[in-house]
Chains A and B, each alone.
With several copies, the nearest count.
Chain A
């Protein structure tokens, strides 16, 4: 079950984690991209921190506040995809005080759909979409969210080791990319350690 209170706890922890792994996220991204993934994640979560005073009992509104915060400070693909996802999620759970199991699965499904749509990418391209896909797969079977999310993020990263990155800035490196993790998937794994 997700409500305002535990959403805040999650966001606080994610913010801490984004500070801790700031350099790691940037350098994972720098290997194949522009090296701003740490900035993107930190700035987005920082802006959410500033705005969480406005959180209220409507989870839809809370997600919208998060989306707007992310949009305000983040100007890179990851941030944009997350912001779009949060916005679409917000519409779906509008008016809800708390999200039950079904809602939680829906949240991830909407995020996945948004990312595939907006990112014009498909499963298997080695992006955060693949991580989300595995999370959905797992939490559909088990309500042990903390465990499932953490293990899905780790597993997804492992599954794609040795595969080519096909989207984002990494695409041009072709075979070279097989030896790198997708920075977004790497970041999700590290962030999921809060669970």
Chain B
């Protein structure tokens, strides 16, 4: 694994600069913080949506700033939480007097920093609410869902809440649909190979050539079990079973996301997706829409995750609502 980079310590700043220079109609740098990205055309009459988190997961987090999705994003270093100051700036930039909803993944540093930032801006008169996405079923038991890590499912929350916010809905309403969406999501992933942190120049973890780790986190956190590399079908069956054990989806309508962690190619995602669709069809689970691609990555890590979002009419409508973002195809 080789990287096309300059000085590793400029990795994040150059990535941000590249994103803005490449899509100047979508993204803009906050005037008060070099690690905060906002929409190029700010919205004026809606709840602001803010996220933030470590770099190295594009399109997560920054990529999902755009009409119909988020208003701003605080960007940490690779795999590291943004600071309280950065988050506070992101919130201020997203606020246009209608309150701000923060949507973030459940990681200790992020959660604490967002909390602190919300306290700071509250003193400035900005009302905020926070939804902590916790979709990774590998990371805590079902009874402790709120303790789970947030991974690819986060994007569904961005999308659904983002669409509702665009209609001018109240902070409370946007908050509620985000909470509901989060509680309707389950994700399980598998890692096949590590990625290289630009500054460290070495792999984040080690894994044998014939091994995979089910439930490994997007920063290389240990998963549920390390197993021998198996066929795509066996692996997919295992993942589907674990998800369905966690979450009864029989006769339900769902949105599906088959997400590559980076290096795993579309061809393999479709081999997995095929099996997921077959398995779910057997359980009479109706797949309303299937998102196959790289939605939440760990740079060039090999692996993939399967996310299900249980739908209702409200969520469905918001899922399909138009966006203006290079990483979301309507």
Contact = CB atoms under 8 A, between A and B. Distances in A.
- Judge A-B direct contact (beta carbons within 8 Å): yes
Interface of A: 30-36, 39, 71-77, 79-81, 84, 118-119, 168-169, 171-174
B260 interface: no
Given A75-B77, A79-B109, A169-B108, 11 more contacts: A33-B221, A36-B219, A71-B83, A76-B80, A77-B107, A77-B109, A80-B112, A81-B112, A84-B112, A169-B149, A169-B217
16 contacts: A30-B205, A30-B220, A31-B222, A32-B222, A34-B221, A75-B82, A75-B83, A76-B80, A77-B112, A79-B109, A81-B112, A118-B115, A169-B149, A171-B140, A171-B144, A172-B138
Contacts of B113: 80
A173 B115 contact: no
Q: Pick the most buried of A31, A35, A169, A172: most chain B CB atoms within 10 A of its CB.
A: A172
B83 A72 contact: yes
A81 to B, nearest CB: 7
A33 B218 CA distance: 11
Contacts of B221: 32-35, 169
A168 B108 contact: yes
B139 interface: yes
Contacts of B148: 172
A169 to B, nearest CB: 6
By secondary structure, the B interface counts as: loop
A30 B54 CA distance: 17
Contact of B116 (A31, A35, A84): A84
Contact of A36 (B80, B85, B147): B80
Contacts of B77: 73, 75
A33 B148 CA distance: 13
B167 interface: no
Contacts of A73: 77
B321 to A, nearest CB: 33
Contacts of A74: 80, 109
B81 interface: yes
B219 A172 contact: no
